[in-house]
Amino acid sequence: MAKKENVLIVALACSQCGRYNYYTRKNRQKVRAKLAFRKYCRWCRKHTEHKEV
């Protein structure tokens, strides 16, 4: 029987240019809200909000 998968790989996209710059893991049971982090975007060359997609 397959093990129940509760950890998702999610992409974090820059809110300015929309590119996917980061990937992170998220526990579906513990984290129910959408993730958002301030991270450096090398395309915008500045820190921007990166949101889960």
Contacts with Zn ion, residue ranges (CB under 5 A): 14, 16-17, 41, 43-44
Q: Cβ-count burial of 44 within 10 angstroms (0-12 exposed, 13-18 middle, 19+ buried)? A: middle
> Smallest gap, in angstroms, from Cβ of residue 6 to Zn ion?
30
Beta bridge partners of 40: 47
Report, in Å, the least distance between residue 23 CB and Zn ion: 15
Closer residue to Zn ion (CB): 10 or 41: 41
Toward Zn ion, which CB reaches closer, 22 or 31? 22
